Amino acid sequence: MRIRALVKRIIRQFGRDKRTLAMMFLAPLLILTLVNLVFSGNDYVPKIAVVSKQQQIAEKLIEADKAFTLYKNSDDAMNDLENAELDAVIEFNPSSTKITLEGSNPTANKMALMTIEKALKTLNPKNEQTQTVIKPEIDYLHGSSDMETFDYIGPFLIGFFIFFFVFLIAGVSFLRERTTGTLERLLATPLRRWEMVVGYVLGFGIFTVIQSAIIVTFSIYVLDIIMAGAIWFVMLITLMLSVTALSLGTLLSAFAKNELQMIQFIPLVIVPQVFFSGLFSIETMTDWLQPLSVIMPLTYGGQALRDIMIQGGGWAQIYDEVLVLAGFSLLFMMLNVLALKKHRKL
């Protein structure tokens, strides 16, 4: 009898909490659908430049695979390779053949080499003009042949874990301020709402700086993730990601009544960023899904970290991403101020 009463109470409790029911029954379906859409795209098609004065060779390669594009000179091809508009450049010279890979993405490197190898087989090895293409020299603009997949996804994972844990901890902590009545007492003081938001961001920001320093240092010096740029730029990007996650977490906490409801935002806010921010190849996804990456803060943080850690980029390469992350942070903080104006007692 007592067990039945307890079971009934739990059923009624879940029945009143529509958000929890949606989490249990709809969130898994949403995530499975996202996984299906992400992994049901096309195979990655590398972009390869062909630089050759021998028109016949270039035409045969272009006919062999749509991945090849003819370039008139090596400088233009290398410039596009540096800007990540190409995955590889193959140059045919009278005495040698050279392949230069962009090098940042091991998967793209592998696909480019496989495509080139397959296309070169279409050339006639008995022809004196094409005999030198059989064993090309391979060079890397960034990275090396020893670069592993973890080196490529490592910078993104650094940004993701910082973003995820700051978002969760900040949201739950700010929610606790509401549930314990601390926020109500602060709202009754002359303290302005924007001052409150900035104060919380700065207060939590001290600990996010320490967290970022620990994660970055451990990843580089213990896990030995590739590091071609300056660590100070990595710290800057992780700090910007932390502030963005902090402002977003405190904003969404205004729409949660308890810690469980705060955690329920993870499938809606965090999981989509994993799929659409660069951990998986955006180019292979369905066309209508690709624009979603634009609204994901992790897209800019992950790309900036890769530019620094893999390509050795500096301020010129990450300037745009820093501005976008700063814009996200300001937007979330302004929305947080508006949310506080509509705050009601729990």
Do residues 225 and 189 share a domain?
yes
Higher pLDDT, 248 or 205: 248
Q: What is the pLDDT of residue 47?
A: 87
Domain identity same for 128 and 180: no
DSSP H helical ranges for 40-140: 55-64, 74-82, 106-120
Domain count, the chain: 2
Domain final residue pick, 96, 119, 140: 140
Q: Could you count the other beta carbons within 10 Å of the beta carbon of residue 320? A: 12
**Does residue 28 sit within a domain?**
no
pLDDT band at 144 (very low <50, low <70, confident <90, very high): confident
Confidence grade of residue 305 (pLDDT, cut at 50, 70, 90): very high
Choose one of 105, 140, 175: the last residue of a domain.
Answer: 140
Q: Which residue has the higher pLDDT, 180 or 159?
A: 159
CB–CB of 305/161 below 8 Å? no
Q: Per the domain annotation, does 244 fall within a domain?
A: yes
| Better-scored residue on pLDDT, 132 or 89 | 89
Q: Are residues 166 and 264 in the same domain?
A: yes
Whole-angstrom distance, CA of residue 231 vs CA of residue 136: 35
Judge whether residue 328 has pLDDT over 90: yes
The mean of the pLDDT values for the chain is 79
The CATH number covering residue 101 comes to 3.40.190
Tell me, yes or no, whether 184 and 323 share the same domain.
Answer: yes
Q: Of 118, 140, 162, which marks where a domain is finished?
A: 140
Q: What predicted TM-score, i.e. pTM, was given to this entire model?
A: 0.76
Tell me if 346 is assigned to some domain: no
Q: Among 43-47, 119-123, 274-278, which is the least confidently predicted range?
A: 119-123
On whether residue 53 sits in a domain, the answer given is: yes
At 274, the amino acid letter reads V
- Above pLDDT 90, what percent of the chain? 8
Tens digit of each residue's pLDDT (9 = 90 or more) over 283-301? 767 777 778 888 899 999 9
pLDDT reported for residue 331: 92
Better pLDDT: 146 or 338:
338
CA atoms within 13 A on the CB side of 258: 4
**Interval 211-251: pLDDT, tens:** 888 888 888 888 888 888 888 899 999 989 988 998 898 88
Residue 133 CA to residue 110 CA, distance in Å, equals 18
Q: What is the pLDDT of residues 10-62, one digit of tens each?
A: 677 666 767 666 666 676 777 777 767 666 666 778 888 888 777 777 777 77
Angle at 259 between CA 253 and CA 264, to 5 degrees: 75
- 236 and 100 housed in the same domain: no
- 59 and 166 in a single domain? The answer is no
Structural domain including 65 reads 48-140
pLDDT of residue 323: 94
More confident residue, 43 or 342: 43
126 has a pLDDT exceeding 70:
no
Query: Does 158 score more than 50 pLDDT?
Result: yes
331/227 same-domain check: yes
pLDDT of the residue at 300: 92
